[in-house]
Each structure stands twice: as C-alpha cells, then as structure tokens.
Structure 1
C-alpha cells in the first residue's frame, strides 16, 4: 500500500453551528478525536489544520498522534487551509482530504482508498447518491 497522509480541515468559524465543530460530540468523543482515531486505525498520520478556537482544540488533542498546523488566515476560507496543509504535510505518495464536519466510518474510507488505488488515477473524487437520486461529489483523494 502507498504511503498515505491524512489532511483534516478543521479551521472554520462554525458560524452556522454556533460552536466549534471539531469539539462537537460524535459517537462518544469529539469530532476531531473521532477523525484522528479513524485515521490512526488506518495507519494514516493526520495533519490537522486548525484556525478558529485552535488553542482550545490543541489542548483537547495534544496527546494524540497527529501533526497540528494553525492557519492564521483561516477567515480567508477552506482553500487557505488546503494550501497551508499541503505545504506542511509529511512526504507522502497520496493524501486523503477530509473536512471535520463530514465524519465517515472506517469501512467507507477503506473502500475509498481501495477504489483510488484500483483506478490508477492521480485524483479520486467520491460520489454519493442523494435521496432524490442525484450525485454529489465529495472531497478528492
């Protein structure tokens, strides 16, 4: 298997939510802890891009095996976090790009990674079937 890095985007303002998304509870732990645990279980080292509430989040995850980057320009949008994350991520062959507010179970990520390698393509964009039957694209790998 390829050397895969995980880039977890968690820098947003969470304005619609009203509280920090990374700290929201999901399956008995915070969303950020959930993501770190899933990535580590897949033998993927997470690189996490924080912005809003970064000090509080860092205190929550300081004992986890993850690289933490703070995007001081997080108000400039998700692209600024992707750029800073790609610059900071360790040398890897492939990157799994994830948003903090889109948790996926391990088996979905395993399936996505398998399909990516089977495709032989440089980029894989997952598609999800919505209730109305239309397709919605996810984050590229």
Structure 2
C-alpha cells in the first residue's frame, strides 16, 4: 500500500525494546508464519500505509536492527528501556516527524493483528478527528492504538502506565473499534509461541476469520 498523503500522514511506532524475560530468548526473532515477529510488524505497518515506520529497540538492539536492515523503517534506541514500555512509546512519538498528524503504536508479539485492522484505525481517525482510536477485544482495550498528535506532548512526559493513563484521561473522546476477542493473543511464554506457531502452520484451528 502507498504511504498516505502529506496532509494525513500517520506514523507507525513498533515497540521492540522488551527483554523477553518470560520467553527465555529474544522473541522478536521467533518465526511465525514464515517470518520473524519483528519483520512481520514492520511489514504490516508498511502495508497499512503508515509512514514513517519507527522501530524502538532496547536490550536486543543490535540483533533487532540487523534483522530489519533491508526494510523501510527508522530504528531508534530507547536508553531507558529497562524502566518500562511507556518510555518506548515516548521515544517513538518524539521521533515522529512534524508532518505526522497521528501515530499508531503496535506490538510485534501480537501475531493476529492485521494490516486491515491498522488501516481501520487510521480511517476512523480521519472520519472523526478523535484524539484516540483504540482497539477493543471484548472488554479489553489493547494495541494497536492510534494517538493524535495533540497527545504527543502528554505521552512524551509519561514514565509509567503503558499509555493506559492517557487512554483513561481521554476515554470520553476516544473512538473504540471492536475486534474479535481471539485477536488479542500475545506471545510471552514458550507454550504460547508453540500454540500460535502450530495454528499458523495450519495444523490446528485458526482464530477468527478477519483478513
């Protein structure tokens, strides 16, 4: 998909600064459906028309950046990655060019998020001009989440809460986009990875039918 026009450009912020403690190895390099999680996330953001795609790295900076060096993305390093995910979100919004009117924050370890889902968030923002467009899976709000540029300053000064506090403060003006609950699957442990790898290989049942 072609990048969006200058007047409605939306950046993608891919958070890849975690330590993968529960997985026991760098999960960003795990193969799911024929490509690593981090490559899939960058491709998905590009396919959704996000530009630029900003990759925020941390503990595994060297390996992660090497894995995506042939892809169209802007890698940045979060020196405070050990203090929590919110510092990575802050790094991402600070790095977003002034030409971007919004940014979509994404997690690589959610393999059932699709480009269509991301595009829908961008479309809803264009239609409503809402400060937040939040994915909702059943009763749970989770990424991908679109933040309007008007919230960037607030986000850049937060050091805790994973963005939940920003969502809470502006919830009355947020647009919620509902997705099947089984799209909310992240990979934190080896057993979760093996289950998803099996599903995507076509051996077991696949969740949902959203393209």
Q: Which TM-score applies when normalising by structure 1? A: 0.89
Structure 1 gap ranges (5+):
130-134
Give me the whole-angstrom Cα distance separating, in 2, the residues matched to 1:7 and 1:112: 14
Residue in 2 that maps onto 1:46: 53
Deviation at 1:43, TM superposition (A): 2.4
Q: Is the 8 A contact 1:21 1:100 kept in 2?
A: no
Structure 2 gap ranges (5+):
147-211
Q: After the TM superposition, list the runs of 4 or more consecutive aligned residues in structure 1 that deviate by more than 6 angstroms.
A: none
Residue in 2 that maps onto 1:14: 20
Question: Higher mean Cα deviation, 87-96 or 110-119?
Answer: 110-119
Give me the whole-angstrom Cα distance separating, in 2, the residues matched to 1:106 and 1:88: 22
RMSD value, Cα: 1.4
Q: Which TM-score applies when normalising by structure 2? A: 0.61
Give me the whole-angstrom Cα distance separating, in 1, the residues matched to 2:67 and 2:129: 38
Q: Is the 8 A contact 1:13 1:52 kept in 2?
A: yes
Residue in 1 that maps onto 2:78: 71
- Which has the higher Rg, Structure 1 or Structure 2? 2
Aligned to 1:12, the other structure's residue is in SS state: coil
Aligned to 1:52, the other structure's residue is in SS state: coil
Q: Is the 8 A contact 2:40 2:108 kept in 1?
A: no
Aligned to 2:66, the other structure's residue is in SS state: helix
Residue in 1 that maps onto 2:118: 109
Residue in 2 that maps onto 1:96: 104
Aligned residues: 136
Q: Does 1:136 align with 2:140?
A: yes
CA distances 1:22-54 after superposition (whole Å, capped 9, x unpaired): 111122100111111111122212101000111
